Amino acid sequence: ELKVEQNPLFLSMQEGKNYTIYCNYSTTSDRLYWYRQDPGKSLESLFVLLSNGAVKQEGRLMASLDTKARLSTLHITAAVHDLSATYFCAPYYGGATNKLIFGTGTLLAVQP
Amino acid sequence: DAGVTQSPTHLIKTRGQQVTLRCSPKSGHDTVSWYQQALGQGPQFIFQYYEEEERQRGNFPDRFSGHQFPNYSSELNVNALLLGDSALYLCASSLDAGSWFTNEKLFFGSGTQLSVL
């Protein structure tokens, strides 16, 4: 069974602090997506990681992928309130599966 | 260029009723996937349509069915609604099932919030 686990599930942090969200998945995948979701809204694509060792950065967010460890991380640098949202990772499985499997989500609350 | 559009945005139904949700893919996209997102959960894959046929299906009962039209738009139908069907239903489009994962991000619509009373 394909499983994707994120931790923490809930993260409350102060502005200006750094933190990392972890995404572990049960079955090897060489492509992984990170999404952001605001309350009551749809999914906004943040990053597409296409290979082992891939690292992408945009603003205060940086994502990385370790396919051998089946682990992806989303690092937040100097958090600001605008980053408050739920973050999902989703590894891609091709072949007969051909779909994204979403993680449990991490609710991030950045306090002023 | 319009992105993925879904209608309606909100819907309230009662148990046992049937519902149809609609999705128009991003211009140039020919593949549509549907996801169900229950409150506090991650999206769950329902099925995917390509060339007017269902290509892949997630772990959902036959009460969930779909259709894709020649213009690539898609419908999701749910029969005999249950309380547990209350969720945000998301539609995602891509160029084709093979290439979109490598070349571009998956585009999601704003979703249809379905409430079953």
Closest CA to A80 of A29, A13, A5, A30: A13
Across the interface, do B42 and A88 touch by the CB < 8 Å criterion? yes
Q: What is the pLDDT of residue B107?
A: 83
Closest CA to B5 of B85, B78, B71: B71
Token code pair at residue B32: 């549509």
- Tell me the C-alpha to C-alpha distance, in Å, between residue A25 and each of A55, A60, B40: 18, 24, 19
Mean pLDDT of chain A: 91
Looking only at the bridges linking them, the beta strands covering B64-68 and B10-13 are unpaired
Q: Which amino acid is at A79?
A: A
Q: What is the pLDDT of residue A97?
A: 60
Higher pLDDT, B94 or A3: A3
Tens digits of pLDDT across chain B (117 residues): 568 999 999 999 999 999 999 999 999 888 899 999 999 899 999 999 988 999 888 899 999 999 999 999 999 999 999 999 999 999 998 876 555 455 456 789 999 999 999
Across the interface, do A88 and B106 touch by the CB < 8 Å criterion? no
> Cβ of B95: how many Cβ atoms within 10 Å?
15
- Integer-rounded Cα radius of gyration of chain B: 13
Residue range A50-68, pLDDT digits in tens: 888 889 999 999 999 999 9
Chain B residues in contact with A97 by the CB 8 A cut-off are: 56
